[in-house]
Amino acid sequence: MPWSQLYCPKRIYSRSLFYCMVQYVKRMIGIKSLYILGSLSLVLTSLMVMYTTFPDVQLTQLFHNKRQEFQRDYSKNSNSTTCLILVWTLWCTHTYRHVGYVFGNCSESRCEMTVDKTRINDAAAVIFWGQSEEFVSGDIPAYHAPSQIWVFVTREAVLRGYFQKMNFAKTRFAINRTMTYKLDSDIPWPYGYMTSQPGQMHELKRKPRIATWLVSHCDAQSMRMSYVKDLQRYVSVDIYGRCGNHSICSRDTKKDRDGCMKYLSDSYMFYIAFENSDCKDYITEKVWTNALLHKMIPVVRGRMTNFSAHLPPGSFIHADEFATPELLGRYLMKVHSNPTLYSKYHAWRKTMSIQAAGQTFFKCALCEAIHRFRASQEKKTVDLLEFLDDRNQCFKYRSDLEEKFFKTV
């Protein structure tokens, strides 16, 4: 006798085959198991509806969002492994972008950042932006818990005036770790770095204008404005920003800044990337972002070892290799008119690329380092006065008047 007749009496045999299947399953596995199978079927049906309703990208994003929600909830309930990072002194609005559980894209994501000073007793680390007025004046917590890591953070050259006014009586031995552009920092934070991944090589087009400079700090210790004014006598250098007379480039918003840099990149072959200070390891966004990432050749000035150690070989022109600004100006005009010579300054892009080390680099490197320091349990105190001593780190330029004075004594 077929199973359909066995479990479907004649009086109901005329019913659907589905009814017979249900009766068969009920007798074979029991009513409770049938309910479980029904629930699983409902879940599978729901997933099929979702798959047909949402495109693949939307469905993937939906699961990704749920995963992030789970990670945030997990982090909040995992106080034993999540490091709270308290920013005690602020420097810029960028700090607020990192408040909360914002480390999800980092290899080490078990961190939370806050600016709420009432949570200091819960903080694994306390961050001090070194150039902030509060830190310079000595505004630090009255008590430093032995297990708490205090980190000094800055991207400014040690020669800058902020640090000459520092209240070292309060801050000199308060810091445990440093995070600066200097490679000997506990957490190095350069403005950019090289990678071995080949870059994208596009056709190099001859640009209509020769050199540009985007600058807002006009009276820098490096005497760069004086040099550029001499250079302008021999080659065209268009100056934008607070120190220039060109108003095309507005940098009020990110959209404005992006538009400004695109305009400069499309128009100019060279970018004057003179730093405000000539200090060891101090190579800023002027070189990494403004020039190299925007396909302009940086013209640099300062200690050669800085640039040869950190930048792609053959990627820059060093002003100090020319005896006078006039000779540099003549060479820039030569490169501008010679496509073969111009292309040599971009040959490095075939074998390597560069990355800017911005705010994402900052938070990921910081979180990873805090966990590493806590795991090692190494106790350290930084002598901040020695760390910021510019005498062995920076070259101080003198004005022509000062040069004449020192030659006579």
Q: Residue 233: pLDDT band by 50, 70, 90 thresholds?
A: very high
Convert the pLDDT of each residue in 368-405 to its tens digit: 999 999 999 999 999 999 999 988 889 876 444 334 43
Convert the pLDDT of each residue in 49-84 to its tens digit: 444 444 443 433 433 443 344 344 434 434 458 999
The confidence score (pLDDT) of residue 101 equals 80
More confident residue, 216 or 152: 152
* Burial profile 356-395: b = 16 or more Cβ within 10 angstroms, e = fewer: ebeeebbbbbbbbbbbebeeeeeeeebebeebbebeebbe
Q: Could you write out the DSSP letters of every residue in 40-102?
A: HHHHHHHHHHHHHHS-HHHHHHHHHHHHHHHHHHHHHT-TTTPEEEEEEE--SGGGGGG-BS-
How far is 130 from 104, CA to CA, in rounded Å?
A: 27
Convert the pLDDT of each residue in 110-142 to its tens digit: 999 999 999 999 999 999 999 888 999 999 999
3-state secondary structure of 290: helix
Comparing CA positions, the residue from 397, 381, 401, 394 lying closest to residue 178 is 381
How far is 119 from 88, CA to CA, in rounded Å?
A: 11
Which single residue is written with the structure tokens 């940098």?
251
User: What CATH code is assigned to 195-355?
Assistant: 3.40.50.11660
More confident residue, 3 or 260: 260
User: Residue 303 pLDDT more than 80?
Assistant: yes
How far is 398 from 55, CA to CA, in rounded Å?
A: 65
How far is 294 from 191, CA to CA, in rounded Å?
A: 15
Q: Residue 33: pLDDT band by 50, 70, 90 thresholds?
A: low
User: Residue 406 pLDDT more than 50?
Assistant: no
DSSP 312: P
Which single residue is written with the structure tokens 């589905």?
18
Beta strand extents in 247-300 (DSSP E only)? 268-272, 278-279, 297-300
Q: Please name the residues in contact with 318: beta carbons below 8 A apart, sequence gap of 6 or more.
A: 299, 300, 301, 304, 307
Query: In residues, how long is the chain?
Result: 409
Q: Is 355 exposed, middle or buried (0-12, 13-18, 19+ CB in 10 A)?
A: middle
How far is 271 from 211, CA to CA, in rounded Å?
A: 6
DSSP 246: B
DSSP 319: G
Convert the pLDDT of each residue in 81-104 to its tens digit: 899 999 999 866 555 555 788 898
Quote the percentage of the chain above a pLDDT of 90. 55
Its sign, for the CA torsion 363, 368, 374, 376, is negative
- Return the H-helix or E-strand segment holding 151: strand 149-153
The lowest-confidence range among 70-74, 153-157, 247-251 is: 70-74
User: Residue 313 pLDDT more than 70?
Assistant: yes
Residue type, 313: P
What are the boundaries of each domain within the chain?
3-53, 81-189+379-387, 195-355
Q: Where are the alpha helices (DSSP H) in 243-382?
A: 254-267, 285, 304-310, 325-336, 339-344, 359-376
User: Residue 15 pLDDT more than 50?
Assistant: no
